[in-house]
Amino acid sequence: MAAATEPHTRLEAVREQVRQACARVGRDPAQVRLIGVSKTRDADEVITAVRCGLSDLGENYAQELVAKAQAVAAAGLTPRWHFLGGLQTNKVRLLVPVVTGIQSVDRPSLIDELARRADPGSPIEVFIEVNVGDESQKAGCAPADTADLCRRVLAVPALRLAGLMCVPPVDDDPEASRPYFRFLREHRDSLRRDLRLHEETLAGLSMGMSGDFQAAIEEGATTVRVGTLLFGPRPPRIVEP
């Protein structure tokens, strides 16, 4: 039955590609977290994927994440949820009780709101999103602003500074993303040095999507965010003006 086996086959295929990319550069696949990006997919598809062994899910819209997380929890499943999209400060309150992490933190007002809402008893993983391609239509801070944002996150006990995230300019060739991935890794390394960070703080690199996650792993990604390859092509979303 295709419906029962397909998601499992897709997940295994992606995991195999993760292993192969790790093998090429001598990395341990256990050090790469696979987030299944489930935006636009319905809760049943997510439930199937979680039953196949997917443990991390990513979403771009706050209400969509919260509704899906509730439906998945009602099925007795508790994957980790990660927020990846453009975030309005008034949505932080909805997300905080539900998410493990927010990967699209790119401005001080968002950190202030997270500081107000987050619970020090269960700190939220924060990734600072960096606009690596200097694209005006994209989210993410300028590289020059990253250090200040990191310091602000470090000052909040209820937040854990987990790493940097990027979405490079769209390109069909995965090799086109590689210089951006390398830039993000070097940027993280220099921030860790300048801010004298140790161990797990700012150790993460969330980079790589369906088209380029293998290149991202070769360049040091610790989290890859894969939608299409796991869930199939997405129906087009109506984009708000």
Per-residue binding letters, 11-40, with ligand PLP (x by CB under 6 A) = --------------------------x-x-
132 binds ligand PLP (CB under 6 A): no
Residue 163 touches ligand PLP, criterion: CB under 6 A: no
Least distance (Å) between residue 97 CB and ligand PLP: 22
Nearer to ligand PLP, 156 or 174 (CB): 174
List binders of ligand PLP among 42-61 (CB under 6 A).
60
Interface stretch with ligand PLP, choices 10-18, 65-73, 94-102, 219-227 (CB under 6 A): 219-227
Complex with ligand PLP: residue 10 or 27, whichever CB lies closer: 10
Binding mask 187-216 for ligand PLP (x = CB under 6 A): ----------------------xxx-----
81 to 110, contacts with ligand PLP by CB under 6 A?
Answer: 84
How many Å separate Cα 75 from the centre of its chain? 24
CB of 57 to ligand PLP, least distance (A): 11
**Of 1-9, 47-55, 118-126, 221-229, which segment contacts ligand PLP by CB under 6 A?**
221-229
Axis crossing angle, helix 62-74 with helix 43-51, rounded to the nearest 10: 60
In angstroms, rounded to a whole number, what is the distance separating the alpha carbons of residues 11 and 160? 29
In the complex, least distance from residue 224 CB atom to ligand PLP, rounded to whole angstroms: 9
Judged by CB under 6 A, the stretch of 2-10, 153-161, 183-191, 220-228 that binds ligand PLP is 220-228
How big is the site for ligand PLP, counted in residues (CB under 6 A)?
A: 12
3-state helix/strand/coil string of the chain: CHHHHHHHHHHHHHHHHHHHHHHHHCCCHHHCEEEEECCCCCHHHHHHHHHCCCCEEEECCHHHHHHHHHHHHHCCCCCEEEECCCCCHHHHHHHCCCCCEEEEECCHHHHHHHHHHCCCCCCEEEEEEECCCCCCCCCCECHHHHHHHHHHHHCCCCEEEEEEECCCCCCCCHHHHHHHHHHHHHHHHHHHHHCCCCCCCCCEEECCCCCCHHHHHHCCCCEEEECHHHHCCCCCCCCCC
Residues engaged in binding ligand PLP (CB under 6 A): 37, 39, 60, 84, 167, 209-211, 225-228
